[in-house]
Structure 1
Amino acid sequence: MTPELSLVADIGGTNTRLALASAGRVQHDTVRRFANEGRQLPDILQEYLAAVLPDGRPTRACLALAGPIDGDTGAMTNLSWTIRAPEIAAFTSAGRCLLINDLQAQGHALAGLDSADLTAIIDVTPTKNGARLVIGMGTGMNAAAVFPTAQGAFVPPAEAGHVNLPANTENGRRVVDWMLANLGQAQVEDALSGTGFVKVHNALHGEALTAPDLLELVEAGDEKAVLTMETVVALMGGVVGDLALTFLPRGGIYLTGGFASAMTPWLTKPHYNAIFTQAFANKGKISPVMAAFPLYVIGDDFAALQGCAAHLANG
């Protein structure tokens, strides 16, 4: 008997990742990545299904979106797409289509991660069955708490990237002031996402350089670029620490997304790791609590697809 196949998707601001899944597991030979620029989602779905499922149709679909979802409609935060579940179900001939936030999908994927897919930034022992927290830093930024229940993981949606960026240091205040003057607001996503590094450098030094050029300068020891990296790492540590206090994820904190991956080589260097962990733990009289939270970066770029598959299987 041919197994029933589900369509799973991780739709970010820059790329869409697609796969087929069966019995709650992604079929890895069907995973594909598509650039979103200049395209619409139906075009991508049509191309994908024609290539991997030309003579069939998915029985169900689960799409993880980088943006808020209201009922059966999702609006991408950093892309001018509005996605409606009934339209996707009709277009793909899937009998049922679910929309979830992309960080919810990452949360559902945590249970299936291999230790080889994780890089430890704060290496302490997690509490068994403790709450966990996944933080996505890519084209945008968001977070989702993962609470264990008898029925499986409960992962409520959030839009954490749009809260105010904290300014706890002199350089942090300079960044916030620049963002307020030039962007009209200073949100976490403005600093801790794909374009954040560039914005922080501009705020500190009045230079609009590209991220690759800035990273080369950091590697070369350029004084201004190094200060930018130190400021970004400190902001990152402070924000992640704030989220840790909000959700108390003693089961672990997991960073994911392109920006988080790009930062990993720096966060593992002793100098920058010390800046990150100090900002993470600097919470006044409650600072001792911060020692309970392990923190990792997820290296699996397609984990959200497995989260969608698990969500369909459990639902």
Structure 2
Amino acid sequence: MTDHHQPTRGRPRVALVTCAGLPDLDPDDRLVLAPLAAAGIEATAAVWDDGTVDWAGYDLVVLRSPWDYMLRHAEFVAWADTVPRLANPADVVRWNTDKRYLAELSAAGVPTVPTSWIAPGEQWTPPTSHGEYVVKPAVSAGSRDTGRYDLADPDHRELAAAHVRRLTDAGRHVMVQPYLTAVDTAGETALLHLAGPDGLRFSHAIRKGPILTGPDRGVDGLYRAEEITPRTATPEQLAVAGRTLAAVPGGTDRLLYARVDLIPGPDGEPVLVELELTEPSLFVGYADGAPERLAEAIRHHLSG
């Protein structure tokens, strides 16, 4: 009997990695299946923690929606280390799934949201300055375990402190950032980059509307629903995205994709919120030709 995980001669096989909660992939990810098939590439969904999958049997393993890894981070990173031909590579996964990479990018001159970091066992007192702040774990996705607090409100101050304690008591590193109010009007801009013969190149951009409305009350499912619309990137945003990608350890030539999330800072200039190199939504359904460009990026990695 032929092992269905073994590559078929002359027809490359690609695993699109997901989680048990999305066994058939996120709907946006499914848009790449037809252009891959048209290019003669067989792509199938595979759950990252499914012990029956022979990852070595694929010509390329592409991380897409393994969005349940947050509370199993060490296990997920260890799994990535075992997967040959993983995109993006395992060392990138290790670096990028812990948002403390933002401190490295800031030190490299990338404009980022000012961030305070609290390690497990450390005490945190809300700053005396009033204003809104965001509390979230350093390892997170989909805005899970994330809250927005108005520190002028005594109840919010107590809730923010309790949120930090809850996370650090669970052994998680915590990040605290001022809430950038421009997200309520301008929204967040995600700039999507896909691989090509000359390296990563800008593909398209989208706008994400505000998500956080108050303290963390828990969230059902893998992620919070988002309001997504197409957006035209500005030269200033593209410049910050370029500076961000230039600071990625090991360079970007080996990356299949990258998503750079920006918000206007207090002076209106774009600042980095997150650099997504592991399992970002790529929003290919919001730009003409984007599914085909993603398929071409995968084909490029297969040929490389």
TM-score calculated relative to the size of structure 1: 0.33
- Which has a greater percent of helix? 1
